[in-house]
Amino acid sequence: MGTRVLVRQVRAEDAARFVELAGLSSGLHRPWVNLPASAEEFREYLARFDQVAAVGMVVCRREGGDLAGTVNINRIVRGSYQRGVLGYAAFLPFAGRGYLTEGVGLAVRYAFEQLKLHRVEADIQPGNAASIKLVRRLGFRREGFSPGFIKIDGVWRDHERWALTSEDEHVY
């Protein structure tokens, strides 16, 4: 797998297309994630990725190179944890084609093999069926449930805690 997409670092030159696709996809993304809706918000978003605590990537179609979505490894903690937390979203019109499963899988491989993390996690709202299906396909296990875990759009939302460790059998 990983044959139809690649993942690479998100960069300043992506701003216009990223913001355009995020705007077109806002109906798909709410209330699960908020992506930058303007050039200014995109600059702030980019600044979060210092390559130490957070790595921001885009999922690109190999054919044509357009942005199929985004995948980030956030909240990287070293020391005795060696963990990171995934964030991801598909861009319309590329949702529902398997690109994000491939792209998130490549990001997981990057996390284990290049960043040498031991654990990647995904915090997912219980109603987010598409996201739960995606991590299941990649071999993640549900480790727990945290009520009111993350504030999104001004509301503290419950999240399921999904994770994969480098010893686990995973797809990529």
Ligand X SMILES: CC(C)(COP(=O)(O)OP(=O)(O)OC[C@H]1O[C@@H](n2cnc3c(N)ncnc32)[C@H](O)[C@@H]1OP(=O)(O)O)[C@@H](O)C(=O)NCCC(=O)NCCS
| Spatial separation of the C-alpha atoms in residues 80 and 117, rounded to whole Å | 10
Q: Least distance in Å: CB of 151 to ligand X?
A: 14
Residue nearest ligand X, Cβ-based: 98
Q: Least distance in Å: CB of 56 to ligand X?
A: 14
Nearest 5°: phi and psi at 62?
Answer: -65, -40
DSSP 3-47: -SEEEEE--GGGHHHHHHHHHHTHHHHTTT-----SHHHHHHHHH
Contact positions toward ligand X, by CB under 6 A?
28-29, 32-33, 88-90, 95-101, 122, 124, 128, 130-131, 133-134
**Cβ-based nearer residue to ligand X, 88 or 110:** 88
Region of 64 (left: φ > 0; alpha: ψ -120 to 50; beta: rest) is left
Q: Least distance in Å: CB of 61 to ligand X?
A: 11
Q: Least distance in Å: CB of 18 to ligand X?
A: 14
**Cβ-based nearer residue to ligand X, 98 or 118:** 98
**Cβ-based nearer residue to ligand X, 6 or 95:** 95
The residues with which 6 forms a beta bridge, in sequence order, are 60
Q: Least distance in Å: CB of 123 to ligand X?
A: 6
Nearest 5°: phi and psi at 38?
Answer: -150, 165
Please say whether the dihedral angle defined by the alpha carbons of residues 114, 120, 123 and 124, taken in this order, is positive or negative.
Answer: positive
